Structure 1
Amino acid sequence: MNTFLRIITGLVLLGIAGLLAFIFVPLQRSQPAQQLAADWQPAEGQGEYVMHASDCVACHTAEGGAPLAGGRPISSPMGTIWSTNITPDTQTGIGDWSLDDFRGAMIDGIAADGTHLYPAMPYENYRILSEEDIAALYHHLINNVEPVKNTVQETGLPFPFNLRWGIRAWNWLALRHGPGFAAAGTSELQDRGQYLVEGPGHCAACHSPRTDFMTQDGVQDGDKNFLSGGVIGGWNAPPLTGDNSAVANWSVAETADYLATGRNTHAGANGEMGLVVQHSLQYLTDEDNIAIASYLKGEDGEVIESAEFKSMPDAPANKAGEATAQMLTQASPDMDLGPRLYLDNCSGCHFVTGQGAPEIFPPLAGNPLVTGSEVKPLISIILNGADIPSTRKRPAHLVMQGYADRLDDAEVAELASFIRSAWGNNASSVSQSDVAGIRGQ
């Protein structure tokens, strides 16, 4: 049985279990990890900061729509889920929700009317948020956000996934950790990074693998597969821990640069990660991005006031990289189609070394996006182009053109296969049918 059928079978079984839970288990919300004082008030700007740290804008804002007014389509193996309106509009948003209602949605996935939210809402992770941060976010959304009347398209998944009571059984599997945060106690800086990664940043939602029941296989520090890599919508979310992680060869400062700006000497943020940088990480303080980087790297780092432009890295000091660069430089008339297409379309920015230009054109040699198990990211970028968002520290909006109108499917397959095997890259080839499928999406 393939993975997709295992997932569907598992979810159907969960639906049956959910019906039993619906009949026999009363609906209830988790108790707070701590009680706030009756006169508690959030610090100035705390709620807005939590909103950015939790990446609320990216999911709850439709393309061209009002901020936080919902309507953004979110793909899932079961179908499209439409994000909700979380502005304080009383008719279509959360304007009449109490703090308890809001907290129930954040950590238990239960809306004010008792409806189970689909776990596209990462309440698996948000239940790690502190009670202060949850309350501060609620106060900000209710008191500081402009109400927008926007009736969002209702999510209509096929049977049996349209029966939301099945999520009650899913929650029994997924929510095995109680509300609240448990610091590893490594250092004050790394503990802060751990909190941001586990809770508001909900990094495990993408960077941990999924079980056959689509729960996150690793939510907290110490879980076996926590941040060991995942696949989201056909894109690799690389591992963030271990010797083979995306940041293994980056310094703490370089990792913090990437978080704050979406670029460093090693990589540029594309796809969902680009949205995370654009709507979330660029708004964090230098201290917090350093804290995240320090936690991921397992070492403390010094706070930097601003990211500094780095010099051009040296060409790869390996025989495979040197051989590829030499072959491209010679430009022999009998050169294969793949490298010839690279010279014609890519070498002006990424160079014959495959190293690109730091913080402008990402390197292709050793790039996890290029060499990952999923071919969709590279093919999508060749066809449709890519961009690195403008941020406060790096205002330039960098755009790569797409080649869908210039290259046919066979040519894209040859080009992608070359890039995945050049300069010491050792990834599988790309087929013409792979390209055709992605072009048609």
Structure 2
Amino acid sequence: MIHARRGWPTVATISAAISATIVVTGIAAAWAVHAANAAHATTQPGAAPSSNAVSGDLAASIKRGAYLAKMADCAGCHTATPTTDANGNLTKPPAFAGSLPMNSPFGTIYSSNITPDPRYGIGAYTYEQFAHALRDGVARDGSHLYPAMPFPSFSKINESDMRDLYAYFMHGVTPVATPAHQTRLPFPFNQRWALGIWAWMFSPNHPYQADAKHDVHWNRGAYLVQSLGHCGACHTPRGPAYEELGYTGSSPLYLTGGTNDHWFAPDLRSTSPSGLGRIPIADVAAFLKQGHGGGLVTFGSMVQVVEDSTQYVDEQDLDDIATYLKSLPPSDSASTYAPNSLGAAQSEDALRTGHVDRPGSGLYLSACARCHQANGQGVEGKYPALAGNPAVLGSDTQSLIRLLIEGGRSPATESEPLPRKMPSFSDQLTDKEMARVLTFVRTTWGNSSAPVTARDVSRVRSALHH
């Protein structure tokens, strides 16, 4: 949400896991079971053909589907990045036409065209085929989708919402008669039949079931987080076969943080101080709506999520999401935050007067304090606080390092505040200097977290420039 060292699984690890999966399960047995389940899923009693697969009034269904598509951030992955020509003119690609490249440990995966074009998009899909693709990761032609498509989460979408999504994509989206870039991964990752075994082993296969122990708002939040929001796709660590290590709060690893393309998506549980434990529900909701909340500012890959998705979510749904996340038991955290301690008062006083000789303090005062302030509190609505910031105190420092190397920006939303930019320090600071200033930030104002080393910085810098 605001972007121990788990990292992505390596190609060798995933390859070995695929081989082991085939040996352990037996190709024939696993495929037979999965095929039987898939056939049952696509021939359920009462499944309507495409011409009738809308719930109630078509216009109302399309409107609901448009909202759900925003919630699921479909455009974020299925719309290519805008391009700029030699004259600086910006060209926005058509919505939902695919071709967005997504980095993975096993190669680049391109998103598909999901407009209702019958040849290059999904216009020829019946409702059953549409639901089968979203819930089971199987396309109309029977090919299996890579788990970059979060079908394990979408398997929990209820029937009413699925039909509204179908109505929207078939009747509310402009068809684009353009083929998306083809994904061409090296062997063995181009063997899509193996993905059927992967889905059988790891993916949930039933819609969300309400928990009677909780009220309607908690259940609404749980449903949105676990299904349409697919928060676990980034915020849950993955195993050696690239599977999420948990899909509900019953798993102790669910939403404890995950690494994606050298961004660390942090802990979303009630962990303190490296999760949402100290953040009030109202601030979590504001963060999702505006990209700012409680002194926190989104960055990295979460910026686009706010711009394309969460800023359009209803206030009540945002409150329900925050309520659910805050209810999840805390995970283990080695970091602490003691803002009222003697050490915190002394460090703040020393920074205010300039009498600081700790490594990294001079760098902070000269390069960081103008925006983040000498007391580490930032400026509300502009620059994030560093004191007590969960992203600062997390066990994984990749996002902090990447921000110093590349810089960043806050999201542009329809409401205030205005987006702000953080400059890159790649050319100004050495690896050792970056490590010193980040260690200083993680151990000042009551912050107490593990130091950052020059090797940590060098590793991220090399990966980004690879």
TM over 0.5: same fold? yes
Return the offset for 1:423.
2.3
1:296 partnered with 2:325? yes
> 1:247 is matched by which residue type in structure 2?
L
**Residue in structure 2 matching 1:31, options 41, 45, 57:** 41
> 2:443 is matched by which residue type in structure 1?
S
Name the TM-score, length of structure 1 as normaliser: 0.88
Counterparts of 1:215-364 in structure 2, within 5 Å, are 215-244=243-272, 246-298=275-327, 316-332=339-355, 335-336=357-358, 338-364=360-386
Q: Distance in 1 between matches of 2:26 and 2:184?
A: 18
> 1:31 is matched by which residue type in structure 2?
A
**Residue in structure 2 matching 1:49, options 49, 60, 67:** 67
Counterparts of 1:36-435 in structure 2, within 5 Å, are 40-41=55-56, 43-44=60-61, 45-64=63-82, 65-175=93-203, 177-185=204-212, 186-244=214-272, 246-298=275-327, 316-332=339-355, 335-336=357-358, 338-394=360-416, 396-435=418-457
Q: Distance in 1 between matches of 2:241 and 2:375?
A: 43
Return the offset for 1:55.
1.0
Aligned residues: 423
Q: Distance in 2 between matches of 1:149 and 1:271?
A: 32
Q: 1:20 to 1:323 in 2, by over 3 A?
A: farther
Q: 1:235 to 1:18 in 2, by over 3 A?
A: farther
Return the offset for 1:22.
7.5
Q: Distance in 2 between matches of 1:76 and 1:144?
A: 31
Equivalent residue, structure 1, for 2:3 = none
- Provide Cα deviations, 1:19-50, integer angstroms capped at 9, x if missing partner: 44586557334527884676733535101001
SS in 2 for 1:81: strand
Q: Distance in 2 between matches of 1:18 and 1:402?
A: 51
Q: 1:55 to 1:9 in 2, by over 3 A?
A: same
Equivalent residue, structure 1, for 2:334 = none
> 2:432 is matched by which residue type in structure 1?
A
Q: 1:34 to 1:421 in 2, by over 3 A?
A: farther
- Provide Cα deviations, 1:54-93, integer angstroms capped at 9, x if missing partner: 1111111121132211111222222221111111222321
Return the offset for 1:439.
3.2
SS in 2 for 1:31: helix
Q: Distance in 2 between matches of 1:266 and 1:126?
A: 32
> 2:198 is matched by which residue type in structure 1?
W
Gaps spanning 5+ residues in structure 2: where?
1-6, 83-92, 329-337
Paired residues of 1:18 and 1:166 also in contact (CA < 8 A): no
Q: Distance in 1 between matches of 2:102 and 2:152?
A: 17
- Provide Cα deviations, 1:157-185, integer angstroms capped at 9, x if missing partner: 2221110111111111112x332120113
Return the offset for 1:230.
2.6
Paired residues of 1:30 and 1:108 also in contact (CA < 8 A): no
Return the offset for 1:326.
2.1
SS in 2 for 1:74: strand
Paired residues of 1:125 and 1:199 also in contact (CA < 8 A): yes
Q: 1:166 to 1:288 in 2, by over 3 A?
A: same
SS in 1 for 2:447: coil
Name the TM-score, length of structure 2 as normaliser: 0.83
Return the offset for 1:119.
0.6
Paired residues of 1:54 and 1:201 also in contact (CA < 8 A): yes
Paired residues of 1:21 and 1:169 also in contact (CA < 8 A): no
- Provide Cα deviations, 1:362-396, integer angstroms capped at 9, x if missing partner: 11122222232322211111122111112223251
Equivalent residue, structure 2, for 1:308 = none
Matched-pair identity in %: 35
- Provide Cα deviations, 1:91-126, integer angstroms capped at 9, x if missing partner: 321122221121111000000100000011010010
Q: 1:113 to 1:21 in 2, by over 3 A?
A: farther
SS in 2 for 1:154: coil
Paired residues of 1:322 and 1:353 also in contact (CA < 8 A): no
**Relative contact order: is structure 1 or structure 2 higher (C-alpha 8 Å, sep ≥ 6)?**
2
> 2:302 is matched by which residue type in structure 1?
M
